[in-house]
Amino acid sequence: MKIAFVYDAVYPYRIGGVEKRIFELSKRLAKRGHEVHIFGLKEWESDASFVRNGVLYHGVGHSRPFYTHGRRSAGEALYFGWKVLKPLLEEHFDIIDCQNFPYFSCLSAAFAAKMRHSHLVITWHEVWKDYWYEYLGISGFTGKAIEKLTSRLSDNLMAVSDLTKNDVMSMRKGVSISVIPNGIDYSYINAIQPSGIRSDIIFTGRLLKEKNVELLIMAVAIIRKELPEVRCLIAGDGPARDYLQNLVNECNLVGNITFTGFIKNHDELIALMKSSGVYASPSTREGFGIAALEAMTCGLPVVTVDIPKNAVKELVNNKTGRVSSPTPEAYSEAILVCLNNKDLMMDECKIRSGSFDWDKIVSDLEEYYSRTIWKG
């Protein structure tokens, strides 16, 4: 098969769950003999197109700011949607797998698929619906309308979690939606040695409002009363960093919480997880949660929150962590339970995460693509 993945951000120049999914699946599909292309914004200094791991990377346009005033840039999304259209029209692909966000690229992919008689698959990582109004105010109706339109661009819809599948089905009734989750490279993670930097709690990810890191900070303030030397690492960067650092200062937690900034080397990030005790995932919105799954592979119990739009809770049970109420008191208690029972939870965490190995998931994806082509 000749397959094209379409997403504005490209791993490792941008690091996130969607970028990692495309990176891991594409190189495995290429290894299985498929011709695989990735189209994204050019954020590298070498030639616009190059080959890595047997995958053909295409940089379209040039890098633009992903965030303006703490929100995903609509201008960047429009720019990428426009720039990716021409290269998609220049070749025939059996499958164009376009990620649902940032939407405008889905419109381009749909047009190119129709013109070149390709099969368009839209992979859904998250559905916002009414959250658009919280995100954009009264202008949110535009985002909500575009999201709904995107769900109608193809009958080949895929979701990364049951939560996302159900949300897509609420917009597009009567269409079958397959769930092919994100995953982890189990053997790669197991081969990495722990870091010399020790911590009790670790969070990794973009520092955005919806990641809800302030809940973790307030929970650490409570935990410190019982464990004065508790150490928490916040690994990541983003628009909310200044606010979160000010909150740490206000809570007198400078000696307990360390901001590492963005860590480019993924091996280093995994090593930091392996030298920690508990993984904190307090996000209010999470379409899947690759980082939580990686933490479980490292033997860390995961503490997440019971919020409707948080898919991480699908991965966690009382043997692998805790799903807590979203209050500092409840969250701190859940973290303490997991810290005290980490040795008992470690094996279950690894067993649970092992079922999400990328090598298994790529087989399911390959079969899905084949069925999509077969049914026409």
Q: What digits encode the pLDDT tens for the residues 130-154?
A: 888 888 888 889 999 999 999 999 9
Q: Tell me, yes or no, whether 257 and 349 share the same domain.
A: yes
Tokens standing for residue 363: 């087989």
Are both 223 and 126 inside the same structural domain?
no
Based on the domain organization, do 272 and 235 belong to the same domain?
A: yes
Q: Which two tokens stand for residue 256?
A: 């307990």
Q: Are 319 and 345 within 8 A, CB to CB?
A: yes
Residues 216 and 151 in one domain: no
Residue 56 near residue 30, CB atoms below 8 Å: no
Q: Are residues 275 and 364 in the same domain?
A: no
Structural domains of the chain, count = 2
Residues 361 and 349 in one domain: no
Please state the pTM of the whole predicted model.
Answer: 0.87
The pair of three-digit structure tokens given for residue 168, joined into one six-digit string: 């897509």
Count of all residues that appear for the chain in the document = 376
- The reply to whether 243 and 370 lie within a common domain is no
289: containing domain:
186-354
Q: Residue 211: which residues within 8 A CB-CB, separation 6 or more?
A: 203, 205, 238, 240, 282, 283, 284
Same domain flag for 124 and 240 = no
Q: Are residues 254 and 179 located together in one domain of the fold?
A: no
CATH number of the domain encompassing residue 127: 3.40.50.2000
Q: In whole angstroms, how far apart are CA 365 and each of 15, 29, 33, 183, 351?
A: 22, 9, 14, 12, 22
Do residues 45 and 129 both lie within one domain? yes
Neighbours of 375 (CB within 10 A): 9
Going residue by residue through the chain (376 aa), what tens digit of pLDDT does each one get?
999 999 999 999 988 889 999 999 999 999 999 999 999 999 999 899 999 999 999 999 988 887 776 677 788 999 999 999 999 999 999 999 999 999 999 999 999 999 999 999 999 999 998 888 888 888 889 999 999 999 999 999 999 999 999 999 999 988 999 999 999 999 999 999 999 999 999 999 999 999 999 999 999 999 999 999 999 999 999 999 999 999 999 999 999 999 999 998 999 999 999 999 999 999 999 989 999 999 999 999 999 999 999 999 999 999 999 999 999 999 999 999 999 999 999 999 999 999 999 999 999 999 999 999 998 7
Q: Are residues 174 and 301 in the same domain?
A: no
Q: Are residues 108 and 199 in the same domain?
A: no
